[in-house]
Amino acid sequence: MSPELHNLIYRSALLIASFLFLVGLRGLSRPETARRGTHYAAVGMLIGVLGTLFHHDIVQYQWILGGVVLGTVVGVPMGLWIPMTKMPERIALSHAFGGLAVATVGVAEFLHEGAAMSRIAAGAVSFEVLMGAITFTGSLVAFGKLQGFITGKPLTFPGNNALNFILIGVAFVALGLLVRTPGDITIFLVICGLALVLGLLLVLPIGGADMPVVICLLNAYAGLAASASGFVLDNDVLIICGALDGGSGILLALIMSKAMNRSFGNVLFGAFGAVDATAAAGGSAVAVREASVEDAAELLKIAGSVIFVPGYGMAVGQAQHAVRDLANLLTANGTRVKYAIHPVAGRMPGHMNVLLAEANVPYDQLYELEAINDEFPQTDVVVVVGANDVVHPAARTTPSSPIYGMPILNADAAKAVLVLKRGMSVGFAGIENELFGLPQTQMVFGDAKATLTKMAAAFKGGHG
């Protein structure tokens, strides 16, 4: 085959891949078409990869084969066996891989082109490596925090933010210098090193509850890095996919931070939780009423309508199946059951939806905040499963509260509230939840899964 034909196949394959990626993404706008969309995109990826093998620079296959085989060996278990409750960890880890791939491509490209690089290319490649490496170490820290290897509490030291700003400044100055002298390996290495350190320093101060925003931002960084690599390599499919990935990450991060009523700046540099926890320690405890599982079951038996409010506690306790079992009994008893999903419930966007879908809860019973908030006053019982700050009335009523202004689920408006909780620990915002002290609220303490299972048993037992 002539080189022209090779190039034609290569370029056409990438064009077809880009088209199929967009078609696939469009499919995600509805649950009915989402799966088919994913299949289109997967076919697009296969075409793109096969077409790339026709690239005229590819003369040896042993390294490619090694990388693909190893990647498949790691990728298949990561796709098939990771439990749904570990999805945030899984996504953080894949951002780390994405950052690593893009950063190593950038380093290789820099070493190959060297001083022959144009100034624009040098700027793009250093931006690529900067973002890629920040994503790599930042995502590893996020993974460590979610997995519990690193404490979920914000890790800060005096001058942390100042140091971060200085390092970011130095990184951009170095980037500017490299544009002036494109082949300078020393400057390039400084940028690489700074980026790796920055990834650590930027994510370590961020608390566990802010992970939804951080994961989205790391997603955006990975996308921007991939786009930059497209500029360097003159590869349009990389630019397009990077733009889609980056756009998606930024959009989700905006939705998340809006749902917490906080700015990016506040999430990234606020070290939320560290300050508030100490303030709350001196505060007065809320007096609560405790209910037994039998009392709770009795209450549910006479309820005409029930709304479940799941939170991160449901994921930690893997209680989604137990929730569904109890909901089944309620539905069989003639009770109307719905689920209210707060956008930041859990550790990543859509976390609760995936868990409930795993437990076979039909998705037309899952309601977004705006869609269900007006229904709480007419609801007989709200069952809060491992959620705290997303049902915290202080967000509406107490201007001095750190979560004031955050849109919450108005569970306190319901006729009765059952709160399933491990103990009286404060939420991630580090403040006592006034909902727990309300006259219509009863606490059921214990492991969410065990409690729900016992409640279901008591519910059935009463029916004889």
Tokens of 267: 């999430």
Q: Kindly tell me which of 293 and 340 has the beta carbon lying closer to other proteins.
A: 340
By CB under 8 A, is residue 97 in contact with other proteins?
Answer: yes
Site for other proteins in 322-341 (CB under 8 A): 324, 341
Stretch touching other proteins by CB under 8 A, among 14-22, 148-156, 168-176, 298-306? 14-22
Q: Kindly tell me which of 205 and 223 has the beta carbon lying closer to other proteins.
A: 223
Q: What are phi and psi of 285, to 5 degrees?
A: -80, 150
- Identify whether the C-beta of residue 133 lies closer than 8 Å to the C-beta of residue 107: no
By CB under 8 A, is residue 374 in contact with other proteins?
Answer: no
Site for other proteins in 165-184 (CB under 8 A): none
By CB under 8 A, is residue 237 in contact with other proteins?
Answer: yes
- Identify whether the C-beta of residue 414 lies closer than 8 Å to the C-beta of residue 381: yes
By CB under 8 A, is residue 408 in contact with other proteins?
Answer: no
**383: Cβ–Cβ under 8 A, 6 or more apart, which residues?**
300, 306, 307, 308, 309, 418, 420
Please select the residue that binds other proteins; options are 66, 193, 283, 377, rule is CB under 8 A.
Answer: 66
Q: Kindly tell me which of 286 and 357 has the beta carbon lying closer to other proteins.
A: 357
Tokens of 345: 């419930």
What is the size of the binding site for other proteins (CB under 8 A)? 117
CA distance 450 to 322: 8
Alpha-helical regions (H) of 204-319: 211-233, 236-259, 264-269, 274-281, 293-301, 312-316
CA distance 108 to 322: 51
State the minimum distance, in angstroms, from the CB of residue 28 to other proteins. Answer: 5
Site for other proteins in 23-62 (CB under 8 A): 24-26, 28-31, 34-35, 38-39, 41-42, 44-45, 48-49, 52-53, 55, 57-61
Could you tell me how many helices (H) and strands (E) the chain has, helices first?
18, 6
State the minimum distance, in angstroms, from the CB of residue 408 to other proteins. Answer: 16
State the minimum distance, in angstroms, from the CB of residue 13 to other proteins. Answer: 9
Site for other proteins in 206-235 (CB under 8 A): 215-216, 219, 222-223, 226-227, 229-235
By CB under 8 A, is residue 74 in contact with other proteins?
Answer: yes
Q: Kindly tell me which of 14 and 297 has the beta carbon lying closer to other proteins.
A: 14
State the minimum distance, in angstroms, from the CB of residue 443 to other proteins. Answer: 29
State the minimum distance, in angstroms, from the CB of residue 108 to other proteins. Answer: 4
Q: Kindly tell me which of 144 and 247 has the beta carbon lying closer to other proteins.
A: 247
Q: Kindly tell me which of 5 and 120 has the beta carbon lying closer to other proteins.
A: 120
Strands 441-445 and 416-421: parallel
Counted residue by residue, the chain has a size of 464
Please select the residue that binds other proteins; options are 80, 162, 281, 287, rule is CB under 8 A.
Answer: 80
State how far Cα 180 lies from the chain centre: 38
Catalytic residues: 389
Q: How many CA atoms lie within 13 A of 385 on its CB side?
A: 33
State the minimum distance, in angstroms, from the CB of residue 236 to other proteins. Answer: 6
181: left (phi over 0), alpha (psi -120 to 50) or beta: beta
Query: What single letter denotes the amino acid at residue 2?
Result: S
Nearest to residue 215, comparing CAs of 390, 341, 349, 387?
Answer: 349
